[in-house]
Structure 1
Amino acid sequence: MRSAFLSLLFLCLYILFVSVSSAPSTEFVYPNFTASNLRFVDSSKGAFLFSRSSIFKAGLFSPRGDSSSDFYFSVIHVDSDSTIWTSNRDSPVSSSGKMNLSPQGISVIEDGKGQTPVWSTPVLPSPVYSLRLTDAGNLLLLDRFNATLWESFRFPTDTIVLGQRLPLGMFLSGSVSRYDLSTGDYKFVVGESDCLMQWKGQNYWKLRMHTGANVDSNFPVEFLTVTTSGLALMGRNGTTVIIRVALPPSSDFRVAKMDSSGKFIISRFSGKSMVTEFSGPMDSCSVPFVCGKLGLCHLDNASENRSCSCPDEMRLDAEKRTCVPASQSLSLPVSCEASNISYLELGLGVSYFSTQFTDPVEHGIELSTCSDLCSKNCSCLGVFYENTSRSCYLVNDSFGSLSLVKNSPDNHDLIGYVKMSMKKTNAQPPGHTHRGSNFPLIALVLLPSSGFFLLMALGFLWWRRCALMRYSSIREKQVTRPGSFGSGDLGSFHIPGLPQKFEFEELEQATENFKMQIGSGGFGSVYKGTLPDETLVAVKKITNHGLPGRQEFCTEIAVIGNIRHTNLVKLRGFCARGRQLLLVYEYMNHGSLEKTLFSANGPVLEWQERFDIALGTARGLAYLHSGCDQKIIHCDVKPENILLHDHFQPKISDFGLSKLLSQEESSLFTTMRGTRGYLAPEWITNAAISEKADVYSYGMVLLELVSGRKNCSFRSRSNSVAEENQQNSSSTTTTSSGLVYFPLYALDMHEQGRYMELADPRLEGRVTSQEVGKLVRIALCCVHEEPALRPTMAAVVGMFEGSIPLGSPRMESLNFLRFYGLRFAESSMVEGQNGESENMVFHRRESSNSGGSRHSASYVASQEVSGPR
């Protein structure tokens, strides 16, 4: 009887022990602890540890939620069921796998396969006293003094949460899929100046490329963090924001994740589900491999739906889910032993993501030479060739998605070829001409005599080449001195994206020793030139520079050279020899807008041409402000810097060259940069300068497009208007001579709805009041005194295209024009009497003014200030 009672007691104690040991813990567990999914599946679905407020849980879980799939030791947000950290992502265990906590740390072991862990924490400096899960989601190993020995936040997988830091050089790796948490091919890396996204080690996106990312400073990056107000890339010991993504302030659960889809996503738990707040790249076709190997990605701009297809002469292999040659005579991949190599043309408009982030292997070469480089390289899978710069890109890794972007300005002259092996013997690489077997009889007759002359010509060319090399060597020794550029050091460093390098003699010959000057500005003079391939170029000689070394110059040129937009003048190349710094641009055959618009003898720009110029210029500025890798503020938007190409297509010039000015040349303008008549009010006060300064200058240019005359030039009102203004004193610019400050005149006419008074009289009624009113309203919105009230250039484009309603000018923010107009009239009268130059600049000064504006500006006679800030 007594033995039966003791047996029953032991059984009850055992059941109690098992039930207690299988209950999950809160916040802490201690060494000699073992957990498995099966052990805790009934009480907490696999979780053995909860944070203090049960916000997060830790355990061995399966992404599929069943008992037969792979299990991972993970930390999960309870309410959203989002996995924020995984230990053994590349070595999952079965449902009977175990997590052991010992004084040496954590280890994950596959049951039945010995004690060798599939994952474990590194060697620790002291024994573990406890394992803690915080309410922030951080898993900590603590010693007996509660000092942290190891933490999961320092070893992120694909996600960081609110308050977590991702240091410089660290990365997030996307998983293979939602259910396979193994390390995938997509990475999000914290770089020295930006966050980069990579596919198999190749860059394909930067954080600052997103329109929602704002670049606040240029200090070195230290870490990335998720905050209650968004995402921030920090520097200077966490005191300065480098790049920020502003999101609605919220203390809810927020995560930033490198998704398995190849996108970087920021999402927030709204109370019911996770809501995406930020996603990049915005264009799903910009993600490599979304359409598989050699797949073409098409994006419907209207619906943003993505579709995939194969290039011409290729078909989809459904079994392999890849594009293969349609012809039986072509095969992939190409082995190193292949003798007959062919190239399948992908055509224009097809881009490959890596060409935006990697250097061409060669500049200024023929297509045939480019294909030869690939043919001789066993690892080369194809080439991309840029016709304009004759740049050659080799694809040496697995082909990702070839994104087909219709009418894209970024790849209009880029053509791609896929390398294949061909069974036929007459295959020819691109750029080569096929030679037949019939040799011309006349060649046999002329060959002996022509050979002699050919040898003489080759000998002369070789002698001239050696002479030039000796001359260059002498010049290098002469010009290389402290504080100047060396001419032989260009190959000593590597700068990504550097455009074509020209020799000085090439440009000297192309411009006929700089014979035809076609322009000048704050940076130097511009000359017309013709390259050996008959391409017209504009060569700018940079005379006002003060760079301490050639690398700084080349770095700036690399930035400008990589910016491509149909409304931005393209940089074709550069030359850097000693103190000679030259930039080679595409040639604009219609010159500047200033010469075309204000010319008294040339043809008059029609209204539609003016509208197209205004829209194209707005698109170019919008791209500089928010569309390229680095936000660029032009700081000198004016008709002289808007060049016109075929059919009067506008292209903005002189953008991004501010750092090429010398300290001595720019010391006078350390607080101001621009040109009289186009300077925003914040240049005159101590306000911060932003891209809204360009918006103001653009608004002034837009008013000049409407009137056909300069805003700050001498002009007289019509008699009727002058008489009316004698009765109505709404304008402060009217003087006895009838001088007019046009922006104020435009404001007066806008208030009265008399827009036709503002139109260029040379149009002779070929424009309506509604058409003029649209541009005047946009212009007045752009010239608001407060920068915050001015629209962005992207919004201006929307107003032109009709996707955004026209803005309404705010009169209280335009009253400063009355003060400007008064000072213009006064100074213009004095200048007219004294015969002084019309060129005037503002001294930056702040004072009170009761005449409707907070700021006043004093005028002094000076030369025009030109060149970006």
Structure 2
Amino acid sequence: MASSLYTTTTTTTTTTISLFLLYSALLPYPTLSGRVFNHSITPNFTASFLQFVDHSGAFLASKSGSFQARITNSKQESQSYYLVIIHVLSNTIVWSANRNTPISESSELRFSPDGLTLYNETGHSIWSTPSKKRPSSVSSLQLLESGNLIMVDGMNKTVWESFDSPTDVIVMGQELLVGKSLVSSVNEEDLSEGSYRFVIGENDAILQWNRMTYYKLSMDTKAFRDTSLAVEYMVMNFTGMYLMGSNGTVVVIRVILHNSNAVTDDSSTFRILKLDPNGVFSIVKIDATDRSQTPEFMGPADICRVPSICRRLNVCTNGGICQCAPGFHSDPIMKNGDCVPADNSLDLPDSCDGSLSSNGTAVKYMSMRDNLDYFSNDFMDPILRNVTVSVCQDLCSRNCSCLGIFHSQDSGSCYAIQNYLGSLMMKSNPARDKDRLGYIKAIVVGNPNGNSEDKKSNFPVLAMVLLPSLGVLLIAMVPTIIWLRRRRRRRKWARNVNKKTGRANSSSSAEGEFEFSAIPGLPVRFNYDELVVATEDFKTRIGSGGFGTVYKGTLQDGADVAVKKITCLGAQGKREFLSEIGIIGKIHHVNLVRLKGFCTHGGQKFLVFEYMNRGSLDRSLFGNDGPALEWQERYEIALGTARGLAYLHTGCEHKILHCDVKPENILLHDKLQVKISDFGLSKLLSPEESGLFTTLRGTRGYLAPEWLTSSAISDRTDVYSYGMVLLEILRGKKNSSAQTRSNNISGNNINTGDNRSSSSSGESGHRLIYFPLYALEMHEEGRYSELVDPRLGGKVRMEEVEKLVRVALCCVQEEPSLRPSMSNVVGMLEGILPLGEPRIESLNFLRFYGRRFTEASRLEENNEQNEVILYRQPLGNSSTTGSYNSFSYMSSHQLSGPR
């Protein structure tokens, strides 16, 4: 009986252990996870999302658990991670450390005696607490019940606190000092800074859109001003919201919140003030007893007072119903909700921030209904007084930053709409402002001289004089004369435009000049003069790539930029440009180059990117000027590039294919920041289009085989190119440069598909071989060390070398479905996922490439004196058949198009 019981117990235990091991093996992440610390952490602590994945990235909690410090994403499907403080009950992010610089799930937070530092996946610091001199080292990191994250020294003195650096939220007890502000997020998923600010001024709390005021707390019906003393800070408690002055002893403005008569409700309620991405700030009460959330205050109460609530030139009515103003309709090009003139001969100008004059451009003013108003009129002084509407319009015409005016007939006051054009609203006080009328400035596209009306009006007079003698004949000639005159004016106007822009094209280029006046997602539109000054008239060329040449520049604020001049635009050039700036402007990832702005000038188009001072990877990897890249640097470059591509494929709102992955499009910055550039070849694919791609793109040596077949182009095409780049990172040379290999290494017969004697390849006794094929053969033999750049002197980690080789071979398999996704590549490189095993049968095509490469290389050597580069010519009479014959010999122009 005992023996039977023992056997049963042993069997049960064995089964339990087996099930546990099986469950552990199937987990997508390691099962070991750090515990959540309560209240405080001591130095020499490290955290990442993956370490605390079982706790949603939380590693520190306040004593009662009301708040948690986490490394997490704002939405489950997002690939952007942030260091945040969360109010657990409401799941509200009340503070973020790196809102403008998201990290990956494997990035680390390190707490040392010197403070907090957040490192990205490349191991470089992107955020840290101030490094000011402290009397002693930091002894602990504490999360208080107020939601304040603080660092204290050995004397328990606070040396840093998160409350000093608010983001878009404040909580009860937190003081928002005068001069400080809350800045909205772009949206609920992208925590980076948006266009709205909640600012504490010396007299009031105000809301701003692009630095223009549209709301003051004192104007709200629920706010009461007690004194005219200067404001020092704002604070919120259990009874209300207060602007305090006189060292915190006097209330300047107060907002009493309902259901807060008793201070005793402090044990069950909590209040949060948040500036939402839509430009409204609100106060919400959270009840701990029933977990309810009750909105208590909203500013502005009228949502139509938010400047861009209805997009450009929409009229907002009835709490958010949007409709284009009379004389306007929805933009048929951008289809983003903005409105443009219904008259096709008119277009809206772009702001130039006041640096250029609009002289020489025909302008017309479209009058608004007398019951419409603009948000800024109630918060700004007129730019002129006691002037007529024509004087006001003339002033606006001469300043290209002016986009429209409002003019008061009684007082002669002239108000300007400058730099940004938002939505319109109904007048709040029609009786008071009935004489204030609005006019929107428009560019006359079909009549640039602005005088056709006068000339046309003179024509009927002349006709009436001549009518008795010419009669019906003259009447019949009128349409022909008008048509000829208009055509002559159009040609003259086109010549004038071409002279100004330095072009001799048709007038169509001028007609398209203003198509980019409303591009969403772009923070800045630069004017041409700014870029000329920044680049010293495009003096320093730093590279060229898809569709353009890149120049170095320095903006007025001292920031270095890379200015890409778009050239070689074909029939689809305008669409390509709109697609590029529309896509890239919305992308925020640590491994993707950030678009800072754009410019259009005549027929020229420019993109302004952040500057990467170490240039492209090919310079550091293949160049001989400086020291070779160390092994760890190469591994981090491989990992960063994989993360960037994974984000393009799965992290964006739509799938984006790069289509030209190569070392020239991988840029490096100080501290080894790695970013992918050049999305000029990218395509934004809808779900219906994701399997279709018809245009041949890319660069010789990195193109997947499916480009030359009828196979669909997908994200796995980028994976192939990445695999080829990975081999070059490993070797330190181009795959297209010959790899020499001795005939008698280990006595092995290397199958290159070439049966000729090795002596034909030169006196050295070495065979020429295509490096990807060489990598395959070394993988088969398990001799990974022979693939490493000899300049590294053996200072490598062999397990990582094997990992890169195996991942690269998995990526370059002929069958796209066998290639891993870029997300899986990241997982393999990070060690989260097991390494894949490349299938030899799907890599045999490399033997065809190897043979053709060897033949072409020998022909090139034999004909070098005659400067015949035969490997760029198709070998039409090749005896070898197959679909791969011409692939290796297509020129870069054939594969890439104009560069």
Task: Give TM-score scaled by structure 1 length.
Answer: 0.48
Task: Give TM-score scaled by structure 2 length.
Answer: 0.47
